[in-house]
Amino acid sequence: MPEVFLASRNRKKLEEMERILAAHLPDVRVLGLDDVGTYDEPVEDEPTFAGNALLKARAGRAATGLPSVADDSGICVDALNGMPGVLSARWSGPPKSDERNNELLLAQLADVPDERRGAYFTCSVAFVHGEGAEAEVVVDGRMDGHVIREVRGDGGFGYDVLFVADEAPGRTTAELSREEKDAISHRGRALRELGPVVARVLAG
């Protein structure tokens, strides 16, 4: 069974990646951080999503010996000049908390009118399967939409409960089915682009 390592403990991310890769390699197995031995995870101190994704994928490959994938993603809000951006996961400070991040974002946008609440999710996914630049691939995905004024839905994770995508009006991305979200999400788009590359490498 071909295996690929995803540098994440987020079970929903692991399942999402396995679903998308399975379209290209049906018997693929995606391992996460909880499935491998503990190693020192790098500090995500790069100024770009792509830089952070590569840091994590390189560290995963070095620690596990497996072809490794890592992503860095976040929400960029027009009224906040593109923030939280790369700080999305830790926007409200340590320890990381989706609930506190969402509360802070809502508070910061409280006086912003609906027509100025535009935002987009963006994601960089890095795949490292050997040494050197020729064994590294980075792809990007984006999902445009806007931030609403209240939390809605119990699916997804992170800021999904506050975000309505342009391609799925009326529902937050936390209210979409897995299939609906995969079809339009920033991560889904990036993984679909990367999927054939990963499949070719794993198939040997």
Asked whether residue 96 is marked as a ligand-binding residue, the answer is no
Asked whether residue 158 is marked as a ligand-binding residue, the answer is yes
Encoded amino acid at 1, one letter:
M
Asked whether residue 88 is marked as a ligand-binding residue, the answer is no
- Determine which one of 35, 45, 72, 140 is catalytic: 72
Let me know how many helices (H) and strands (E) the chain has, helices first.
Answer: 5, 6
Asked whether residue 157 is marked as a ligand-binding residue, the answer is yes
Asked whether residue 56 is marked as a ligand-binding residue, the answer is no
Asked whether residue 5 is marked as a ligand-binding residue, the answer is no
Residue 17 phi/psi, 5-degree rounding, is: -65, -40
Segment holding 165, helix H or strand E: strand 163-165
Active site residue 71: no
Interacting residues of 55 by C-beta distance below 8 A, sequence separation 6+? 42, 44, 46, 70
Tell how strand 29-31 and strand 3-6 pair up: parallel
Asked whether residue 142 is marked as a ligand-binding residue, the answer is no
Catalytic sites, residue numbers: 72
| Annotated binding residues for substrate | 8-13, 73, 157-160, 181, 186-187
| Annotated binding residues | 8-13, 72-73, 157-160, 181, 186-187
| Annotated binding residues for Mg(2+) | 72
